[in-house]
Amino acid sequence: MPDLGLPDPGVPDPGEPDLRWAPPGAVRFAGGVPVALVAPGAGLPSLPAAVGDMATLRRIDLDGNALTTLPGWVGRLERLRVLLLYGNRIAAIPPEVGRLAALEHLSVGRNALTAVPDALWRLSRLRSLNLAENEIADLPAGLAGLRELRMLDLGHNRLREVPAEIGDLPRLTDYLYLSDNGFTSVPASLGRLDRLGYLNLAENRLAALPSSIGGMAGLHELRAHDNRLTTLPETIGRLTGLRELHLRNNRLAALPESLGGLRALRHLDLRGNPLERLPGAVVRLTELTHLDLRATRLTTLPSGLAELPRLEKLDLRWVKFDETPACVRPLRERGCVVLL
């Protein structure tokens, strides 16, 4: 074949990045330069060194690959805003990650992490951080450096305690996941998170919630099920914007009358607690649509439950009433599902 002066298609042109390692379409360009590497579930065992030369990258999505290391040269990608590495096998985050001054979203959940470097807390523009489903036991106080953080997921780790500095995240507004760790208490500083909308404390060993929780005025949903709670603080009634309260499988024998202050509450789950009575104030929960009382020790119900105008489902299965509560019939007659 005559030499037509064309480049060998198997060898990159000089000055062009070598993309032979990448799945088709994984590297995306804008203005002739690479801006994104998107290859989730591609089976990549390592991050090729060529990626470190793509200084214009703004997004890397390598969720669900087989990466075991995150190379230190990733710190050279100074324009990177999104780094998604969920579901790999990474055992450590290199301290060079702290150089990613533009980073806004970092996901390293479901890896093999046992610790995080202090350098991580220098990422002052970070808006979401997912460290869930690892083996992390401790968090340093430097966490408070993440001043722009909106979402933090620390669920399904081995945290022995929650650092008090978690209350020093003024922009934490979206989610805070602390479920399934094993700690026995949470700091009073949680009460300073007055803009947080969703808090998950489920599946730990909590015997109590701090009274400061009443300061979390922005909460819409609180999950504290599958703990060891024996009481709720009176201050819980200050959560006037709360829509969902999940408390199943605790050790609650009684509830405070202040519960009636939860005027926005739609969903109340008390299943599997040794409750012997409901406070009369529950009849003030006029927005309530779902009330789960399964497997409690109640022997009667407030007759005023029949007056709750929005109640759609009342679950009373595995409750041993001496006689059917008086509220059951009128609730059924107006269309509420009552399960006995």
If you ran DSSP here, which 8-state letter would residue 69 be given?
Answer: -
Give the residue-averaged pLDDT of 62-78.
97
Q: Using an 8 Å Cβ cutoff, are 159 and 137 in contact?
A: yes
What amino acid is encoded at 293 in this protein?
A: L
Instruction: Give me the DSSP letters along 279-312.
Output: -GGGGG-TT--EEE-TT---S---GGGGG-TT--
Task: Say what the pLDDT of residue 140 is.
Answer: 81
Task: Say what the pLDDT of residue 290 is.
Answer: 98
Chain Cα centroid distance, residue 252: 25
Q: Where are the alpha helices (H) located in the chain, listed in sequence order?
A: 328-333
Q: Using an 8 Å Cβ cutoff, are 116 and 138 in contact?
A: no
Give residue-wise pLDDT tens across range 86-110: 999 999 999 999 999 999 999 999 9
Token pair listed for 48: 């090729």
Q: Is the pLDDT of residue 15 over 90?
A: no
β-strand partners of 222: 199, 245
Q: How deeply is 27 buried, as exposed, middle or buried, from its count of CB atoms within 10 A (0-12, 13-18, 19+)?
A: buried
Token pair listed for 95: 């301290």
Pairing of strands 33-38, 337-339: unpaired
Give the residue-averaged pLDDT of 40-58.
95
* Phi, psi of 84, rounded to the nearest 5 degrees: -115, 115
Give residue-wise pLDDT tens across range 139-151: 888 999 999 999 9
Domains in the chain: boundaries: 28-183, 195-340
Whole-model pTM: value is: 0.93
Confidence category of residue 226, pLDDT binned at 50, 70, 90: very high
Task: Say what the pLDDT of residue 16 is.
Answer: 55
- Percent of residues, the chain, with pLDDT higher than 90: 91
- Which residue, among 217, 111, 106, 190, has the nearest Cα to 152 in the 3D structure? 106
Token pair listed for 321: 């009433």
The reply to whether 195-340 shares the fold of 28-183 is yes
Q: Using an 8 Å Cβ cutoff, are 78 and 54 in contact?
A: no
How far apart are the C-alpha atoms of 140 and 120, rounded to whole Å?
A: 10
Task: Say what the pLDDT of residue 21 is.
Answer: 78
Q: Is the pLDDT of residue 2 over 50?
A: no
Q: Using an 8 Å Cβ cutoff, are 123 and 99 in contact?
A: no
Give the residue-averaged pLDDT of 232-243.
98
Confidence category of residue 130, pLDDT binned at 50, 70, 90: very high
Give the residue-averaged pLDDT of 273-298.
97
Sign of CA dihedral 189, 191, 195, 201: positive
Task: Say what the pLDDT of residue 12 is.
Answer: 43
Kindly report the number of other CB atoms within 10 A of residue 140's CB atom.
15
195-340 fold? 3.80.10
- Percent of residues, the chain, with pLDDT higher than 70: 95
Q: Is the pLDDT of residue 13 over 60?
A: no
Confidence category of residue 17, pLDDT binned at 50, 70, 90: low
Helix (H, G, I), strand (E, B) or coil at 248: coil
- Which residue, among 282, 291, 207, 199, has the nearest Cα to 242 in the 3D structure? 199
Q: Is the pLDDT of residue 1 over 50?
A: no
Contacts 24+ apart (CB under 8 A), 198-205: 198/174, 199/223, 200/155, 200/175, 200/176, 201/227, 202/226, 202/227, 202/246, 203/179, 203/227, 204/178, 204/179, 204/180
Span of 15-24, 231-240, 247-256, 301-310 with lowest mean pLDDT: 15-24
Task: Say what the pLDDT of residue 3 is.
Answer: 39
Task: Say what the pLDDT of residue 9 is.
Answer: 34
If you ran DSSP here, which 8-state letter would residue 332 be given?
Answer: H
Confidence category of residue 22, pLDDT binned at 50, 70, 90: confident
Give residue-wise pLDDT tens across range 191-225: 999 999 999 999 999 999 999 999 999 999 999 99
The CATH number corresponding to 28-183 among 3.40.50.2300, 3.30.420.40, 3.40.1400.10, 3.80.10.10 equals: 3.80.10.10
Instruction: Give me the DSSP letters along 9-44.
Output: TTSPPTTS---TTSPTT-EEEETTEEEEEE-TTS--
